[in-house]
Structure 1
Amino acid sequence: MADPLEGAIPSLGRLRLDTLLRELIHRAEDLLDTQSRLHRLLDAVVSIASDLSLPDTLRRIVELSAELADARYAALGVIGPEQLLVEFITVGVDTETRLTIGDPPHGKGILGLLINDPKPIRLHDLSKHPQSYGFPPNHPPMTSFLGVPIRVRGTVFGNLYLTEKRGGGDFSEEDEDVVVALAAAAAIAIENARLFEDTHRREQWLTASSDVTAQLLRGADFAETAALIVAKATEIAHADGAFLLLRDDATGGDPDTFVVRAGDPVFTGRRYRLREATAAALDTERVPYPFDAGSEPLSPAEDPSPFGGPGVLVPLVASGRMLGLVAVVRGVGGNPFGDADVRMVQSFAGHAALAVEFGRATADRQRLAVFEDRDRIARDLHDLIIQRLFAVGLGLQGVTAMVGRPDVADKLSAFVDDLDETIRDVRKTIFSLQEPTDRPSGLRGEILRVVTAAAETLGYEPRLRLDGPIDSAVPDAVRPDLLAVLGEALTNVARHARADSAEVLVAVDPGARQVTLVVTDDGIGPSPGDTPGHGTVNMVARARRLGGSCALESAPDHGARLTWSVPFESTKAT
């Protein structure tokens, strides 16, 4: 009779052997998978280390993390100075879906958990975590989650976020280890890319500074140099725009008022005043002043601000004085400027300040050359032309005495009068050449404007004679009264004189330090019993207040003559 257990023992042995073989095969597959992951990790490290462009490096890191962890979606969030995400690079979400989702996340919820506590985290279902904020509309569904921080020199640069493990499972410990290793290699690659970018940008700033210097040495005017400064600042700071603002010399010495000298043509020439806090920081510390859309540094009176988003104001300092500001700005919603950008702008601003100072010195030299040339022309006119005309006039006067015919003598006398008038005109030209150019028009121009304006009321233009250094000698305190009296006198001629012509003489006697205004007309003239009108009383009062005199009398032939005379010395006491 056969033993029933005879065939069972080999069957049990084969069962154990099959189990051992299956376990061995499974472990071998794990080893092969680990080896494959290690190879892919090494390839990933080599891949990210070979690129020195920071934007390309960051995108490559996101792609490789998704590939190594078999994640459907991956993202890298770059952390800004306020512990919020300033950049969010995604893989797996197409462009159309990103646009329908809207703005990228700022670092709240689960993303913020990794920012506040930078440690690797794995979740089975991120929507069930207590800090989950949920998803915005049109966001693809996500359950499994793996987050790993990236540390660069001990500081958290950003975080890797991976979701939706392919196959539907959770991210494993091996996935976490591989992504952590990738993050360590990514930190080195990011640091290298940063250093390369800083070096490249510094080289660009140096090139820009050399370009500005070369343009100045070529003799370019200040407008061209200023345009080059803002163009280079915009390009190298990766800004949306730049402006050059210089202190306004026409605001009575207000050190906090600036004029836009270069930048967007819409704002060029407009004046802005620094807010009190901004002015105090720039004047005291002389360091860059960063701002954003919520902290407008300028206080425009009525013009819109040229700054729409974040930016940096950098003072232009030369010889211990702040000449102006360079502003680099980004549009609304743009990222703030980093420390590297600010340092580069500050370095470039030093060269820009020297360019501004050099441009001003060049302009001063050119003005001095113009003044010297004008002075030379004035001397030539005085020493040569006037003397020759005067000699011709004397000769004609001598010939007149020898002419027997009265008509010829009268013609010669008329020629002599014309020469005298020409000499007076030449002397006026000499005085105008020697006048200072700090006033935009000068007293001569103001007098001419009053006389020209009166021509419409009179029906003719009065003859005008200007003698002496009117612009340089007449004090500022006398000028308003002189112009007011001239206007009132011409108004009286138009209202009361019924004249066909009028003549205005403004003469300055530097020796007597006196200015005299004479207005003469050929009208009916004043009667002996006339009572002075209100206008005449005002003209007399103005003269007496300045220590002078005013008289209205009949002209020798017919008409009227107003004489208004004021000394200079009395003006200082009034």
Structure 2
Amino acid sequence: MGEQGQREETTGADPVVTDGATQSLLEAVIGLGESLEVDRVLDRIVATACALTGARYGALGVIGPSGGISSFITHGIPVEAHARIGPLPTGRGLLGQLIADPRPLRLEHLQTHASSYGFPAHHPRMTTFLGVPVRIRGTVFGNLYLTEKAGGVDFDEQDEELVQGLASAAGFVVDNARAYAVSERQRRWLEEVALLTAEVRPEVPLRTALAAVVAGVRRVAQAPGAAVLVASDEGSPTQLVADGPGAQVITELVDGRSGLVSRALGGEELLVPAGDGVSALLVPMRTHLVRDSVLVVLTEESAAPALPPGHDLVRSFADQAALALDRAEGVRDRQEMAILTDRERIARDLHDVVIQRLFAAGLQVQSTLSQGAARDPESTDAVLRRLVAELDTTISDIRSTIFDLQASHAGSLRSEVQGIVRDYGRVLGWTPAVRSSGPVDSLASPTLTEQTAAVVREALSNVARHSGASEAWVELHATADRLEVEIGDDGAGLPSGRRESGLANLRERARRLGGDLELVCPPDGGTRVVWRVPIA
């Protein structure tokens, strides 16, 4: 529709609207509320205005933030004609006159108006004109433009009154549709934030996590393209993860305007044109554990003209994405620290226990060999038997260390016992040793694992409360048909006249599984609790 015209003042007389026209207006207003999609509502408003007045051509110009027309919805002009006419108007000529002075305007010959601007080539001929502003909450949202009333007659006062009534109702309908669209955006935002939190986990590689961020913000903003830029140690972008048909536009923007990218990586939010009616919003992601990052989102200037741009949702999504990335990185760092701490403990145990035992055993062998002639065979045999026992214990310790170094399976018997021992290590001030032999994990059922864990927990509780020990151990021995658990210490031993409340529980657990409990008190002190059950 051309941007030209002639202004005509209306009289103060009240226009007369016929009953038939009133009925048509009521039906039209009801029809406007059938959809909550903003674009469909705007199309329906223009089509309804044309139907009410008999106008051949109609348009709704949505006023943008700059004061010009940001979107122009037309009716009556075929798509092919649009292509021949060229770019849509932006608010000059008569269209601009109505924006500057938003009052109803009815003209017989729009070409004679002082604001006449002329028609572009291939534009259909237009003479009569009716323009009415559409207001939302007192603010002009846009203007309805109608031309070429059927039969070649002028628009009259009834037409003007009908369109004003329609425009008033249209303001409420557009307002409702906008509120619905904004609530849908917020709903998508909540869904995407929840999905992002679930997808960005510590075990997920950084690039995969960034891809989840990009896909999420695209869905939130309904953008043709989005990307995340990650800075290198020097501050320049080193990693680009892009998605969508507009990904190439972002790549070219990053490659050709490095200064903008550096400013964004430095914490500055930017909105820059990216060509072909598309802008790029660059939002810094406020991460603390991950390198400096920037979220880039393409926005189409013609998309959802009746809605606010949605930049606030993009900013808040960027903040949530930064939190998710930091959380995953923090958990990953904590896991690595736990592994390093555990390895240090294992190395310390190897040095302080295993190596010292081997060294002591070697000295005893050397001493036995050098004094063998002076010793009787029975004494030599006793020394060697003691050395063999020491070496067996050392081998068991090494096996336990190997198990610690391997990735333990959650819920396995050895991992359960290791967890209990670590817990009681904090109570005792030192950590009891754990040794195992045989196929402990492969043969122990979940029920047997649960019962064994309870036995170890009860026995170590007794060690902590009553024994006064400086050393304790838990040994697991499994054969094809039997599991034996020994919990021992070097403490004061079992007192006479004791009450066996805890030990009675251990006996009962063994009895229910078809096993038994043995208490051993060596002459040199300490206690050994041996719990034996069959393996079903």
TM-score, normalization: structure 1? Answer: 0.53
Instruction: Report how far residue 90 of structure 1 moved.
Output: 0.8
Match of 1:570 in 2: none
Match of 2:107 in 1: 123
SS in 1 for 2:166: helix
SS in 2 for 1:164: strand
SS in 2 for 1:292: strand
The answer on whether the counterparts of 2:270 and 2:283 sit within 8 Å (CA) in structure 1 is yes
Distance across 2 between alignment mates of 1:260 and 1:163: 54
The answer on whether the counterparts of 1:124 and 1:143 sit within 8 Å (CA) in structure 2 is yes
- Determine if the alignment matches structure 1 residue 356 to structure 2 residue 337: no
- Determine if the alignment matches structure 1 residue 263 to structure 2 residue 242: yes
Q: Please give the residue correspondences for 1:245-260 in structure 2 after superposition, counting only pairs within 5 Å.
A: 245-248=229-232, 250-251=233-234, 254=235, 257-260=236-239
Distance across 2 between alignment mates of 1:336 and 1:72: 24
Query: How many residues in Structure 1 have an aligned counterpart in Structure 2?
Result: 346
Distance across 1 between alignment mates of 2:173 and 2:354: 81
Match of 1:291 in 2: 272
Gaps of 5+ in 2: 1-14, 361-536
Match of 1:232 in 2: 216
Instruction: Report how far residue 231 of structure 1 moved.
Output: 1.0
Change (3 A) 1:201 1:43: same
Change (3 A) 1:181 1:334: closer
Instruction: Report how far residue 358 of structure 1 moved.
Output: 1.3
Distance across 2 between alignment mates of 1:333 and 1:194: 16
Instruction: Report how far residue 331 of structure 1 moved.
Output: 6.0
Instruction: Report how far residue 189 of structure 1 moved.
Output: 0.3
Q: Please give the residue correspondences for 1:152-551 in structure 2 after superposition, counting only pairs within 5 Å.
A: 152-217=136-201, 219-248=203-232, 250-251=233-234, 254=235, 257-264=236-243, 273-275=258-260, 278=263, 282=267, 288-293=269-274, 309-317=278-286, 323-330=292-299, 339-368=308-337, 371=340
The answer on whether the counterparts of 1:310 and 1:336 sit within 8 Å (CA) in structure 2 is no
TM-score, normalization: structure 2? Answer: 0.56
Instruction: Report how far residue 182 of structure 1 moved.
Output: 0.5
Equivalent of 2:64 in 64, 69, 80: 80
The answer on whether the counterparts of 2:230 and 2:292 sit within 8 Å (CA) in structure 1 is yes
Distance across 2 between alignment mates of 1:227 and 1:137: 47
The answer on whether the counterparts of 1:323 and 1:353 sit within 8 Å (CA) in structure 2 is no
The answer on whether the counterparts of 2:281 and 2:299 sit within 8 Å (CA) in structure 1 is no
SS in 1 for 2:278: coil
The answer on whether the counterparts of 2:231 and 2:265 sit within 8 Å (CA) in structure 1 is no
Distance across 2 between alignment mates of 1:165 and 1:336: 28
SS in 2 for 1:181: helix
Amino acid at match of 2:337: L
Equivalent of 2:96 in 74, 93, 112: 112
The answer on whether the counterparts of 1:311 and 1:336 sit within 8 Å (CA) in structure 2 is no
Change (3 A) 1:335 1:177: closer
User: If you compute each CA radius of gyration, which structure gives the higher value, 1 or 2?
Assistant: 1
Amino acid at match of 1:262: V
Distance across 2 between alignment mates of 1:367 and 1:116: 65
Structure 1, residues 508-556: CA drift from partner, whole Å, max 9, x if none?
xxxxxxxxxxxxxxxxxxxxxxxxxxxxxxxxxxxxxxxxxxxxxxxxx
Distance across 1 between alignment mates of 2:262 and 2:210: 27
Amino acid at match of 1:316: M
Distance across 2 between alignment mates of 1:125 and 1:193: 35
Q: Which has the higher contact order (CA 8 A, sep 6+)?
A: 2
The answer on whether the counterparts of 1:311 and 1:337 sit within 8 Å (CA) in structure 2 is no
Identity of aligned residues (%): 40
Change (3 A) 1:364 1:185: same
Structure 1, residues 140-182: CA drift from partner, whole Å, max 9, x if none?
1111111111111122111111010100011111111110110
Distance across 2 between alignment mates of 1:169 and 1:224: 65
The answer on whether the counterparts of 1:230 and 1:262 sit within 8 Å (CA) in structure 2 is yes
Instruction: Report how far residue 219 of structure 1 moved.
Output: 4.6
Instruction: Report how far residue 104 of structure 1 moved.
Output: 1.0
Distance across 2 between alignment mates of 1:334 and 1:53: 13
Structure 1, residues 61-115: CA drift from partner, whole Å, max 9, x if none?
0000000111000011111111121111111111111111111111111111111
Structure 1, residues 441-495: CA drift from partner, whole Å, max 9, x if none?
xxxxxxxxxxxxxxxxxxxxxxxxxxxxxxxxxxxxxxxxxxxxxxxxxxxxxxx
SS in 1 for 2:286: strand
Equivalent of 1:62 in 26, 40, 46: 46
Instruction: Report how far residue 378 of structure 1 moved.
Output: 7.3
The answer on whether the counterparts of 2:98 and 2:143 sit within 8 Å (CA) in structure 1 is yes
Amino acid at match of 1:356: L
Distance across 2 between alignment mates of 1:58 and 1:46: 14
Distance across 2 between alignment mates of 1:331 and 1:340: 9
Greater shift, 124-133 or 37-46, is seen at 124-133
